[in-house]
Amino acid sequence: MKTHSVIGGLVLGSVLLTGCASAPQSPEGADLVRGKLNSLQADPVLANKAPAALKEAEMAVSLAEQPLSDSDDNLALGAHRVYVADRQVEIAMAKAVTRDAEDRRAQLAEERATSRLDARTLEADRARADADRIEGERAEALALSDAEAAELQQQIDDLKAEATERGLVLTLGDLLFEFDSAELRAGNTSNLNRLVNFLKQYPERNAAIEGHTDNIGNMEYNRELSQRRAESVRLYLVQQGIASNRLTATGLGHGQPLASNDSEAGRQSNRRVEIIIDNPPRVISSSEAIKSSQ
C-alpha cells in the first residue's frame, strides 16, 4: 500500500511538472519594455508630465506582458505587442521631456528680471532641443522600419512566395528536374538564385526544403526520390554560399498531394519542391533601429 502511494506521488509530480513546462509565458522582450516604463514612472521630474501618454504606455505594456501559449501565431502576436509597447513608452518619454521643457520655459518667463535669466533660458532651449531630437530620431526609426517592410514585401513578391502559418512557402514545380531524376536542370535555377539572395540578405532566417512526388511508383521509391531532390536543392544553396546549418532537406514522397493524381495536370502539380522560410519574431529596440540608420 505504501509503494502504491509513492508511485502515485511520482505520477502526480510528473503531471504537475509537465503542466508547468507547457504553461503560457510572457513574450520575449516584455520585461525590458516594462523596465523602461518603470524608469519613466519613477522619474521625479518626468513622471507627471504626460499622464495621458503614460497611461497609454501602461496599457500597451500590460497587454504585451500577457502570457501566450507557444505557437507560431502567438510568437508573432507577442513580438508585435512588445514592439507596439516599446513605441508607446518612447512616445510618452518624448512628450514628458517636451512638457518639462515647456514648463521650464514658463518658469523662466517669470524670472526674466533676475540675473539667472540667460542661464535658465539656455537650459530650457537645450531641453527642448533634446525633446526635438528624440522625436526626430523616433520618426527616423519608424520611417526606416516602413522602408524595410516595403523592401521585404518586394522580395517576397519577387520570390512568388506565399505567407503561411509555417512561414514563407516557395513552391518549385517539376520543371526543376528531369522526369524520375534528382539532378537540377541547367538554366532552370533563376528562382533558386533569387532565394539565395534573399537568404543572404536575411541571415537570421532558416529554410526547410521538402520534396514531393506524384503517386506513380510505390511509397518507398517516391520517398527516396523526393529526398534526393530535396538534397539536390539544399546542396545547390550551400554551393552558392548559404550555411548548411540553416537548411534541412526532407523527402515526403506522395503523401501530401496538392491535387488529384487522377490527371496529368494534377500529377504535375504534385511533383514539386517546397521551401519554407521561417519568420522568427524579432523585437527591434529604438536604439538599435536608430543605430542601423546611421
Q: Grid cell 535658465 — which residue? A: 120
- pLDDT tens, residue by residue, 176-227: 887 788 888 877 788 888 899 999 988 989 999 999 999 998 999 999 999 9
Buried b (16+ CB within 10 A) or exposed e, 45-67: ebeebbeebbebbbebbeebbee
- pLDDT tens, residue by residue, 45-89: 898 988 998 999 899 899 989 998 878 788 888 889 999 989 999
Domain boundaries, the chain: 24-153, 160-277
* pTM for this predicted structure: 0.46
- The helix (H) or strand (E) run that includes residue 275 is strand 272-277
**What CATH number labels 160-277?**
3.30.1330.60
